[in-house]
Structure 1
Amino acid sequence: MRFFASFLLFIVLSIPVSAQVLSHKKTFTEADTLRGSLRPERNYDVLKYHLDVKVEPDTKFISGSNTITFKTEAELPVMQIDLFENMQVDSIIYKGENLDYTRRFNAVFVKMQPELKQDQVDSLQFYYSGNPIVARNAPWDGGFVFSEDEEGNPWIAVAVQGTGASLWYPNKDHQSDEPEEALIEISVPNGLMNVSNGRFEGRENLQNGFTKWSWKVENPINNYNIVVNIGNYTHFSDRYKDLDLDYYVLPYNLEKAKKQFEEVKIMMDCFYEKFGAYPFEEDGFKLVETPYLGMEHQSAVAYGNKYRKGYLGTDLSGTGIGLRWDFIIIHETGHEWFGNSITAADIADMWIHEAFTTYSEAVYIECRWGKEDALEYLKGIRKNIGNYAPLIGTYGVNSEGSSDMYYKGANLLNTIRSIYNDDKLWWKTLKDYTETYRHRIITSQTTEEFFDAATTVDLKPVFEQYLRHPDLPELQVRKKGNQLEYRWKADVSNFEMPVDVIIDGKEKRLFPTEDWKILPQKISEKTDFKVNEAEFYLGFTGF
């Protein structure tokens, strides 16, 4: 039991900072369905959120409202709005009248009077209050973080991916729907600053000991990306091309931050080239120092890597390459393209966030230090792969696949690049993907079909095996006289995938199937046969 607990701790610490569900449960409850399914009560499209919330550090209490502007997609007699059951519903106002509601688990069912018609654009005000769940180990569990900086000032933040944004404010808590814009107004004690997503709109002294800080987002944004960051921040800025770079850090870390954050412009050079322009230029780019390690909060990336190289000074690949750069800056900014701009409609498809973002680490390495180092890094992170469950979770119940979506997902993408066998085509396809689905909510199928269409090789069985089965395809090789035979063993029927092997020092591409094939060339007792492991991630049994 002690070994198992240690193994779980290793898995948690080796997972890049991101989602908090990672359950891959076999059985589900009504609460899971209420959160994860698109029920008739959710037949509306959110157009805008206007949050007006007061945060009281001493009592860890929040109160305020969310004005939700929406368009109905069907007749809507009852509307589901999500808010964790420990939070108080103070009132729900529509056209000046209080609406009746019922609650089940973390869902609030609002009886609309009069009943809403299809294609109706309207809004309501949802007033609420309470003590939100406090995270015990953010960002790996969801909640508020109430802490203090080294000078004793309140330092507060929130991280709720997977757990749900409805932990702290009422919303339609499903990844398939994002507001087109958001106004985030947070009132905090005088002397503190709040930094949220988007552009700073101004501040107002409320004459009651609190100051309201207003931020406006002009792009679609995931619910879990809407955040508060409250502290005694100091601000400095920079610019990359037409993109504003803003940094909010604790005053005593200012000089360290100015030096460390120079890496942002080097990173942007790489990501602009490989992925296209920053997807949220209208909202600018921010790094905000947080009391937890980090999170990909859109246009306000949470940074808590303590101004170290690597992942809190360690290298997740074990190669030393990960100590050349700041993991949180690179990984969490990669999510701006993969996860924030391109978003999975269902949390079951979160691999399209995490695989591509983990792969962006290798992309950055390749930009700076070359392909050989990038391949070594990708091979190194395989030690964190468990191959214990599929990368895709269960749809409609707020369930992710396994944490292998990070490292196995990145190595799947590297394997597909190797299958392409044409780097020019690979980079073109990757950039086309990010630009085609910019600000779009998509499915795994969309991603699979896009990369499949770019090559003559049929990638459907490859995606099927790597995404929907825990085991790797296994290349089996055996001697038969002075010849070699080879085939695939896989869960997917009629599995086929080209693979590069090295025979006596020379690389050769094989096209195995489920049936034994004979290698035409003769072999000797000293013949050396290897898989090109740097470019292909697979199982192998040989002679």
Structure 2
Amino acid sequence: MNARLLLLPLAALSLGAADLPKPGEPALTPQTAASGGPVDPEQAKLAFDDADLVFEIFPERQAITGVATLRFTAKAPLARLVVDLDRNLPVGGIVLNGEPLSKSAWSNPEGKLAIALPRPARTGDTIVARITYGGTPHVAVEAPWDDGFVWAKTPDGRPWVATTAEGYGCDLFWPCLDFPTGKPGAVTLHITVPKGLKAPGNGRLLGVDTLADGRTTWNWRIKRPNTYGIALTVGPYEEISGSYRSRYGNTVPMFYWYLAGEEAQAKALFAEFAPTLDFFESEIGPYPFGDEKLGVVETPHKGMEHQTINAYGNGYAKAPEGFDWLFQHELSHEWFGNQMTAANWDDMWLHEGYATYMQPLYGRWRDGEARYAVMLEGERNLIGNVRPLTSGIERTEEDVYRLDRGGPGQDIYYKASWMLHTLRWLIGDRDFKAVTLLAVYGRLDPKPGNFTPRYASSAEYEAIVKRVTGKDYGWFFDVYLRKAALPELIERRAGNILALEWAVPGGGAFAMPVDVRVGTRTVRLAMADGSGSVAIPTGAHVTIDPYARVLRRSAAVEAFQAWQAAQRKAAK
């Protein structure tokens, strides 16, 4: 028997198969259901050095057991170690710096596990906690739009298990620091699964141990993973592998794990891996995790950007643009989300806006300007403008993602994508590329081995734009990031003069230039003070912003969206 299994709590091992939890059960506390927001003062004193996570998955009982060995460095004196862990996974024992603790030394009433240190830690001290736990984890209702475990069956009736944790956080199944800047320096995973199943995981495969009864333990190691990027995925998988020779001279291993009977579709999807990587390396820069892998695994939910093991559940759907949008979108998060991570969920647009913009850019890279325009037009019709993209405060992921919680909702995808489209035109391709390099890698000359994952913010991004261009674009970000309504271009005709003026929410200057096509001639109005004019010869046809460069209010789009809403309401 694997010696690690001896550490598992007996209570968890005795769970029965009756009364399996329904979706949404067991219930979560508000503490566990929130990820991010203001950082706990005691947790802010911790540097998370690394974690060794031992799991065993029991699909028939929908239960797990775990042993988490966490190593921290104290950044300030502290008397307690506080980590996040769902209370539905009760702790069976804790060993701190080699010393077993009595049960009175810890408590976890709401999902924040507080451990009293036998001796106060001083600045620079190392704290190693081995936490044994297990039980029935929360079951997702509709992953990945909510989080938890997905206990499914393959078409031939075998277990198929997956996790998602972006909204509710890593504490759904392992003790962690559940906020974006709580990344550990490294995580080693040991995932034991029933005979005949596989457990594709994050990072690099260290090896697979086969136990006497046929169970297998899959051992993985990943460097600097995103807090929600650790995933458990279990199933009777087939595997396709290959390699990509990077533009930067290194070779990236590529893997796809899929269900039996799908070989033709799986090979077709795998054929997209290398060309998509080539696009990202051409347009952005080197694949951030080339020394580990590009990994994708088929899941019983739609998808999620689990670092180096992206979840894919798009059913091999076909689209007119000729590539799988879900695979491409989740892969883009390796740059925008995993390599560059927003330090505050309030800046989630940095992840989703860039990842969404990469799709029309990829369409252009593959097929040209017409594809780019068509894909952007589809995004434009989905922009809601209900709330600003950012609030300027620390927020949880759900507070950003959900309109009913006061967040911008889907605008972090589509409005942010269009904002980037407009910014690219405004500052030019060269400067936009430089801005993106600095935001993603922190340097203009990224090469494999000379960068590591970093944190980013809206304020930093705005400062990068100013640094690269030498100009202050505060007026641009004030409107697109910090206001809900879009700028409106007011048109007035007086004789043969067309006058244009920007009206922006809250007033103020908006120096966005505008192209105007007059007959066959295109004139660019600088609009430096928010206004401009152009002479229109008698009978000349006029088109404002003929190439749709600028994100602005559209009465036609608003009418279309209102009509759609009425149709949906009538259909209920």
- Please give the TM-score of this superposition, normalised by the length of structure 2: 0.83
Is residue 45 of structure 1 aligned with residue 51 of structure 2? no
The Cα of 1:102 is off from its aligned counterpart by 2.9
Kindly provide the amino acid, as one letter, of the partner of residue 149 in structure 2.
F
* Structure 1 SS opposite 2:278: helix
Question: Which residue of the partner structure matches residue 346 of structure 1?
Answer: 344
- CA 1:397 to 1:404, structure 2 compared with 1: closer, same or farther past 3 Å? closer
Distance in 2 between residues matched to 1:32 and 1:63, nearest whole Å: 21
User: Which residue in the other structure is 1:115 paired with?
Assistant: 120
- Greater Cα shift, 286-295 or 495-504: 495-504
How far is the alpha carbon of 1:451 from its aligned partner?
A: 2.3
Partner of 1:204: 209
Aligned to 2:364: 366
- Counterpart residue identity of residue 472, structure 2: D
Contact 2:194 2:215 in 1 (8 A): yes
Give the alignment of 1:60-71 within 5 angstroms.
60-71=62-73
Of the three residues 101, 106, 110, the one matched with 1:105 is 110
Equivalent AA in structure 1 for residue 421 of structure 2: N
User: SS of the counterpart of 1:36?
Assistant: coil
Question: 3-state DSSP class of the match of 2:128?
Answer: strand
How far is the alpha carbon of 1:199 from its aligned partner?
Answer: 1.3
Which has the higher mean CA deviation after the structures are superposed, 533-542 or 407-416? 533-542
Structure 1 portions without partners, runs of 5+: 1-28, 311-319
* Alignment of 1:531 onto 2:545: yes
How many angstroms apart in 2 are the aligned matches of 1:435 and 1:81? 29
* 2:383 pairs with 1:381: no
Does residue 267 of structure 2 align to residue 253 of structure 1?
no
Give 1:483's aligned residue: 497
Does structure 2 retain, via aligned residues, the 8 Å contact 1:88–1:128? yes
1:481, CA displacement in angstroms?
Answer: 3.7
| Alignment CA distance shift 1:452-1:504 (3 Å) | farther
Alpha-carbon shift at residue 497 of structure 1 (Å): 2.1
Separation in 1 of the partners of 2:537 and 2:147?
58
The aligned counterpart of 2:464 is 450
CA displacement, residues 51-82 of structure 1 (integer Å, 9 cap, x when unaligned): 10111111101111111111111111122200
Structure 2 residue 434 is the aligned partner of structure 1 residue 423: no
Query: What is residue 396 of structure 1 aligned with on the other side?
Result: 394
**Secondary structure, in 3 states, of the residue corresponding to 1:79?**
strand
Structure 1 counterpart of 2:563: none
Secondary structure, aligned partner of 1:539:
coil
Secondary structure at the counterpart of residue 187 of structure 1: strand
* 1:464 corresponds to 2:487: no
Q: CA deviation at 1:85?
A: 2.9
Q: Which amino acid aligns with 1:237?
A: S
For the residue of structure 1 that corresponds to 2:124, the secondary structure is: coil
Could you tell me the percent identity over the aligned residues?
Answer: 30
Match of 1:24 in 2: none
Return the alpha-carbon distance in structure 1 between the equivalents of residues 546 and 465 of structure 2: 22
**Relative to 1, partners in 2 of residues 1:51 and 1:32: Cα closer, same or farther, differing over 3 Å?**
closer
Of residues 166-175 and 93-102 in structure 1, the stretch that sits farther from structure 2 once superposed is: 93-102
Q: State which drifts further: 195-204 or 431-440.
A: 431-440
Select the structure with the greater relative contact order (CA < 8 A; seq sep ≥ 6). 1
Match status 1:232 vs 2:247 = no
Range moving further from structure 2, 179-188 or 434-443: 434-443
- The 5 Å alignment of 1:173-188 reads 173-188=178-193
SS in 2 for 1:491: coil
Tell me if structure 1 keeps the 8 A contact 2:33–2:169. Answer: no
Deviation at residue 375 of structure 1 after TM alignment? 2.6
Change over 3 Å in CA distance of 1:141–1:308 after alignment to 2: same
How big is the shift at 1:208?
Answer: 5.2
In the alignment, the residues of structure 2 paired with residue 32 and residue 247 of structure 1 have an alpha-carbon distance, to the nearest angstrom, of 31
Q: CA deviation at 1:476?
A: 1.1
Contact 1:475/1:541 (<8 A) preserved: no
Deviation at 1:309, TM superposition (A): 2.3
RMSD between aligned alpha carbons?
Answer: 2.3
Mean Cα deviation higher: 180-189 or 394-403: 394-403
How far residue 125 of structure 1 moved from its aligned partner, in angstroms, is 1.0
SS in 1 for 2:333: helix
> What's the CA shift for 1:198?
0.9
> Which 5+ residue runs of structure 2 have no aligned equivalent?
1-29, 246-250, 401-406, 444-451, 557-572
Relative to structure 1, is the Cα distance of residues 96 and 188 closer, same or farther in structure 2, using a 3 angstrom cutoff? same
8 Å CA contact 1:79, 1:110 repeated in 2: yes
Amino acid at match of 1:146: W
User: Which of 429, 439, 442 is the matching residue for 1:436?
Assistant: 442
Amino acid at match of 1:88: P
- For residues 29-52 of structure 1, the C-alpha deviation after alignment (integer angstroms, 9 at most, x for no partner) is 888889522222111011111110
Deviation at 1:121, TM superposition (A): 2.3
Once superposed, which parts of structure 1, at least 4 consecutive aligned residues long, lie more than 6 Å away? 29-34
Is 2:130 the counterpart of 1:129?
no
Q: Deviations over 1:276-313 (max 9, x none)?
A: 11100121111111111111111111111122223xxx
Q: CA deviation at 1:428?
A: 4.2
Say whether the 8 Å CA contact 1:34–1:107 is kept in structure 2: no
Q: Is the 8 A contact 1:309 1:327 kept in 2?
A: no
Alignment of 1:306-321 (within 5 A): 306-310=315-319, 320-321=320-321
Q: Alignment partner of 2:145: what SS?
A: coil
Alpha-carbon distance change, 138 to 157 in structure 1, aligned in 2, over 3 angstroms: same
Offset, 1:491: 2.4
* Residue aligning to 2:567: none
SS class of match (2:228): helix
Residue 195 of structure 1: how far off its partner (Å): 1.0
Change (3 A) 1:80 1:36: farther
What does residue 163 of structure 1 align with? 168
- CA deviations 1:132-165 (Å, max 9, x no partner) are 1111211111011101111111000111112111
Q: State the distance in 2 between where 1:340 and 1:463 align.
A: 24
Q: Distance in 2 between matches of 1:408 and 1:150?
A: 38
Over 3 Å counting, the alpha-carbon distance change for 1:137 and 1:393 in structure 2 is: farther
Instruction: Tell me the distance in 2 between the aligned counterparts of 1:290 and 1:356.
Output: 24
